[in-house]
Amino acid sequence: MNSQPRPPVHHGPPPRRATGGDTLFALGVAALGLVLAGGLLAAGGGAWLAQYLPGAGAAAGPPSSSPAAPAASPASPVPSATPTLTAPPPGTAAPPPVASPPLAPTPAPTPVAAGPFTMNLYREGVFVHEHDKEWCVAAAALGMLNVIRLGEEGRTPDVSAAAQRALMSRIEALTTWEDSHNGGTGPGGWAALLTEEGYPYEVRAYPSRLAAMRAAASALRATGRPVGILAWAGVHSWVMTGFEATADPAAARMFTVTTAFVLDPWYPWVSTRWPRSEAPDAPRDAADLKANFLPFNLSSGPYPGRDGQFLLVEPVDG
């Protein structure tokens, strides 16, 4: 029986023998693996490496005091992203509640001056009538000293002509040409006399009657001392001992003086040119102030910084 020749079997290329380069490459890969394993162990990755390299966990140091949690089986459900609150076991005390940080204290609201305000320093016996028709500044200054000294020192008021004459001479000596172009007395001499007596005063000018009366009330309220007013366009002297206002000047920036309590040294005389003088401590309303408290305007002028202004002799803090 004749047999057919079998087809040659293809076994691929002949096997290649390992060379020296192959051996060096294998050794390099093994060395690199050892270096990486050592780095992981030094960085605290022994626990992770132990899952892949047997014995690596022992090289990572002593076991942790906390037992490792068992790995979840494939059938274990995926935990919810929202934690579930569970009650503590019986007999176990519940953890104390966490205290919230204290809230910052709310600042107290600023008090608002409400309603009208009244203040008056007048006392019986302090008024001084001018003994000479030219002595209104001296009489006003003496009346102011009486109010201050009685209220602050308990001194008996002095209304004598001798005391008034002495003050008149002193005010004339303290008055400069800039203060009065025709000699005599001026508001600067008036303020200088009171300051010399130990009670600091200054002459101040304001562009309107409203502003001047507001300033007078504020100064009186702050110092507890009377205010001098240049009445009758600057030719006469008043003493403001008190006021009524729509609000307390010490607590409100905007207010209106509705009434002024005034000592007018001309009283009980009657002027043929100016409104009738009122008794001591008579209230002067807005109409009275408009008729008597006029812008400074003397025929002996000009007086820069004063002409057309409303002048006061104000107490100031020493």
Please give the average per-residue pLDDT across 291-307, as a whole number: 97
Q: What is the pLDDT of residue 317?
A: 85
Integer Cα distance of 16 and 116 in angstroms: 116
Structure pTM? 0.66
Confidence band for 78, pLDDT divided at 50, 70 and 90: very low
- Return the percentage of the chain with pLDDT > 90, whole number: 63
**What's the average model confidence in pLDDT over 109-121?**
75
Predicted confidence (pLDDT) at residue 229 exceeds the cutoff of 70: yes
Measure the CA–CA gap between 125 and 2, rounded to whole angstroms: 168
Q: What share of the chain is helix, strand, coil (3-state, %, to 5)?
A: 30, 15, 55
pLDDT of residue 82: 46
- Both tokens of residue 14? 């002949």
Q: How confident is the model at residue 4 (pLDDT cuts 50, 70, 90)?
A: very low
- Cβ proximity of 238 and 266 under 8 Å: no
**Res 270: pLDDT:** 94
Domain ranges of the chain: 121-315
pLDDT in tens, 185-228: 999 999 999 999 999 999 999 999 999 999 999 999 999 999 99
Provide the strand spans (E) within the chain.
117-120, 201-206, 227-231, 236-245, 257-263, 282-284, 310-315
121-315, CATH topology level: Cathepsin B; Chain A (3.90.70)
Each residue's pLDDT tens digit, 135-171: 999 999 999 999 999 999 999 999 999 999 999 999 9
Residues sharing a CB contact under 8 Å with residue 103, sequence separation 6 or more, in sequence order = none
C-alpha–C-alpha distance, residues 4 and 7, integer Å: 9
Whose tokens are 């290649």? That residue is: 16
Class of residue 133 by CB neighbours under 10 A (exposed 0-12, middle 13-18, buried 19+): exposed
pLDDT top residue among 111 and 244: 244
- Asked whether the predicted pLDDT for residue 69 surpasses 50, the reply is no
Q: Mind listing the pLDDT tens digit for each residue in 23-68?
A: 555 566 566 666 565 555 555 544 444 454 444 444 444 444 444 4
Q: Calculate mean pLDDT across residues 247-276.
A: 96
Enclosing H/E stretch for 143 = helix 136-153
**pLDDT computed for residue 191 by the predictor:** 98
Looking at every residue in the chain, the average pLDDT score rounds to: 80
Residue 272 has pLDDT above 50, yes or no: yes
Burial of residue 111 (CB within 10 Å: 0-12, 13-18, 19+) is exposed
User: What pLDDT band is residue 115 in, cutting at 50, 70 and 90?
Assistant: confident
